[in-house]
């Protein structure tokens, strides 16, 4: 079959690469993709904006695309699935209504409350006075979230009440995130270990993918401001078999059943951000797509034909399928521009991209070609993924490969996977 991947980041490069090596796939198109996608055998970039649904649908028809898979949240929240459904084109993504699990945090909170899904207690308001009163009552630490999509920047984990008040005021009166911040969700702080739990859903049945954990803060030791993710690894040992069973029983099952019974069955990738306290998992957030950078290490371990599974999900037939991952561990290290997650410059030539190494792969995100040279073109520029028999080997493979790549101002964390390494070193 022919597959179209919508998006241009590291996650989309990993999806395109994964589809291109599947035996059911002949040709992969990526709209608009990046130079890394274009460099893969059997993959072609097509210069179409992910929000231009009519041009995407036309491409699907002219190139006889059998399956479209959507990477980022924006086109999902804008209704790409609903648009493709009108033309009977197979699009593996949730509908706009199902996508509210990510595009509206207040919807997700109310949904979890209606369906008894464990999560932090929350107060939802559009009024700064109410928000201030609640923050003063509760005290810090406390979490302030913009209701809508804010490119990963709409969450403040406030350590002090004044930080929380400043975040709420920024959203409610200064329109820091435009309409996305016109409603705020103020949540209890949850103290535990985070994990990412992603699954494929056909609306009724699910296939869980390998667990993973990302590292959102910019600096080693999980210090500094949050980013889109500075690295991720898979599997995440915090999701042990006990936690896994609880996630499936207390979170996944009621989520999928709840969405179906409320008239918005969920088909697509569902990413559940978890906080694990002891061995009790709670939902931090839903994302209606694969995580980035989680997709890169998880897909490096994928042994199944992902295109067949996405197609089966669209036909409502996941019950008869299974999904397999290599036993190896994968560590993905993000190489980022100097200044990210704040202001950064682009256009720096990148050296060392061609040095192949066994057990490592470089996925592009913020890159572009300039006069035959690959240059930086974003905050998160590359994700280097290493595979190994255990987390330490995988870390070594990733960092060995990353050490050969250079540009002016390149930054990366040096401790991706540290929690899994610490667990490995724990007695017993
Ligand atoms: N890594 C977090 C996300 O994709 O939103």
272 has a pLDDT exceeding 70 = yes
Mean pLDDT score across all residues of the chain? 96
CB proximity list for 164: less than 8 A, separation 6 or greater: 135, 140, 142, 144, 156, 158, 186
Once rounded to an integer, what is the mean pLDDT over residues 266-284? 97
Residue with CA closest to ligand 1 atom 4: 291
What is the H or E stretch that residue 295 is in? helix 295-300
Q: What is the pLDDT of residues 303-360, one digit of tens each?
A: 999 999 999 999 988 999 999 999 999 999 999 999 999 999 999 999 999 988 999 9
Q: Which residues pair with 31 in a beta bridge?
A: 6
pLDDT at 45: 98
Residue with CA closest to ligand 1 atom 5: 291
Q: Which residues pair with 199 in a beta bridge?
A: 208, 270
pLDDT tier, 426 (very low <50, low <70, confident <90, very high otherwise): confident
Q: What is the pLDDT of residues 66-77, one digit of tens each?
A: 999 999 999 999
Span from the CA of 216 to the centroid of ligand 1 (angstroms): 8
pLDDT at 391: 97
Does any ligand 1 atom lie closer than 6 A to the CB of residue 229? yes
Q: Which atom of ligand 1 is nearest to the CA of 232?
A: 1
Does any ligand 1 atom lie closer than 6 A to the CB of residue 417? no
**Residue in the structure block whose two tokens are 């490995």:** 424
pLDDT at 356: 86
Does any ligand 1 atom lie closer than 6 A to the CB of residue 294? yes
Span from the CA of 427 to the centroid of ligand 1 (angstroms): 32
- Best residue for ligand 1 mutational test, from 222, 286, 293 (most atoms within 8 Å of Cβ): 293
CA 363 to chain centre: 15
pLDDT at 428: 60
CB proximity list for 300: less than 8 A, separation 6 or greater: 14, 234, 330, 332, 361, 385, 387
Of 169, 186, 188, the C-alpha closest to 177 is 169
pLDDT tier, 202 (very low <50, low <70, confident <90, very high otherwise): very high
| C-alpha to C-alpha distance for 160 and 146, rounded to whole angstroms | 18
Q: What is the pLDDT of residues 127-146, one digit of tens each?
A: 999 999 999 999 999 999 99
Does any ligand 1 atom lie closer than 6 A to the CB of residue 212? no
Q: Which atom of ligand 1 is nearest to the CA of 152?
A: 5
Does any ligand 1 atom lie closer than 6 A to the CB of residue 9? no
* DSSP label at residue 406: B
Percent of the chain having pLDDT more than 70?
Answer: 100
96 has a pLDDT exceeding 80 = yes
Tell me if 404 sits within 8 A of 350, measured CB to CB: no
Tell me if 74 sits within 8 A of 50, measured CB to CB: yes
Span from the CA of 368 to the centroid of ligand 1 (angstroms): 22
Does any ligand 1 atom lie closer than 6 A to the CB of residue 68? no
pLDDT at 355: 87
Does any ligand 1 atom lie closer than 6 A to the CB of residue 72? no
Does any ligand 1 atom lie closer than 6 A to the CB of residue 40? no
Q: What is the pLDDT of residues 356-398, one digit of tens each?
A: 899 999 999 999 999 999 999 999 999 999 999 999 999 999 9
pTM above 0.95, yes or no: yes
pLDDT at 171: 96
| C-alpha to C-alpha distance for 366 and 424, rounded to whole angstroms | 33
120 has a pLDDT exceeding 70 = yes
Of 329, 328, 347, the C-alpha closest to 337 is 347
Tell me if 98 sits within 8 A of 263, measured CB to CB: no
CB proximity list for 200: less than 8 A, separation 6 or greater: 206, 207, 209, 268, 269, 309, 310, 313, 318, 323
Q: Which atom of ligand 1 is nearest to the CA of 216?
A: 1
Does any ligand 1 atom lie closer than 6 A to the CB of residue 285? no
């Amino acid at each position: 079959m022919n597959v179209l991947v919508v998006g241009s980041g590291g996650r989309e490069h990993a999806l395109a690469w994964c589809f291109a090596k599947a035996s059911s796939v002949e040709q992969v198109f990526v709209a608009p993709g990046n130079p890394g996608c274009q460099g893969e055998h059997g993959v072609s970039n097509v210069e179409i904006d992910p929000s231009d649904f009519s041009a995407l649908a036309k491409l699907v028809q002219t190139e006889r695309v059998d399956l479209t898979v959507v990477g980022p949240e924006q086109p999902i929240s804008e209704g790409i699935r609903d648009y493709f459904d009108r033309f009977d084109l197979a699009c593996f993504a949730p509908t706009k209504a199902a996508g509210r699990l990510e595009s509206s945090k207040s919807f997700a909170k109310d949904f979890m409350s209606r369906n008894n899904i464990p999560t932090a207690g929350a107060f939802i308001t559009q009024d700064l006075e109410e928000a201030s009163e609640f923050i003063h009552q509760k005290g810090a630490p406390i979490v302030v979230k913009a209701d809508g999509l804010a490119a990963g920047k709409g969450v403040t984990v406030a350590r002090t009440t004044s930080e929380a008040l400043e975040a709420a005021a920024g959203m409610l009166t200064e329109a820091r995130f435009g309409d996305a911040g016109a409603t705020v969700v103020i949540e209890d702080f949850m103290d535990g270990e985070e994990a990412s739990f992603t699954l494929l859903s056909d609306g009724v049945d699910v296939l869980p993918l390998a667990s993973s954990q990302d590292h959102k803060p910019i600096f080693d030791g999980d210090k500094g401001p949050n980013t889109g993710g500075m690295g991720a690894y898979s599997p995440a040992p915090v999701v042990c078999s006990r936690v896994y069973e609880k996630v499936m029983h207390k979170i996944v099952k009621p989520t999928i059943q709840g969405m179906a019974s409320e008239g918005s069955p969920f088909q697509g990738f569902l990413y559940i951000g978890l906080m694990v306290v002891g061995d009790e998992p709670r939902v931090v957030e839903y994302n209606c797509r694969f995580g980035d950078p989680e997709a890169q290490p998880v897909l490096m371990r994928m042994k199944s034909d992902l295109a067949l599974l996405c197609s089966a999900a669209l036909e409502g037939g996941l019950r008869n399928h299974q999904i397999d991952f290599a036993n190896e561990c994968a560590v993905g290290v993000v190489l980022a521009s100097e200044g990210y997650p704040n202001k950064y410059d682009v256009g720096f030539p990148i050296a060392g991209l061609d040095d192949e190494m066994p057990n490592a792969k470089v996925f592009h995100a913020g890159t572009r070609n300039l006069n035959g040279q690959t240059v930086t073109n974003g905050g998160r520029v590359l994700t280097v993924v290493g595979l190994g028999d255990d987390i330490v080997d995988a870390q070594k493979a990733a960092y060995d490969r990353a050490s050969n790549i250079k540009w002016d101002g390149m930054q990366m964390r040096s401790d991706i996977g540290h929690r899994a390494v610490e667990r490995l070193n724990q007695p017993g």
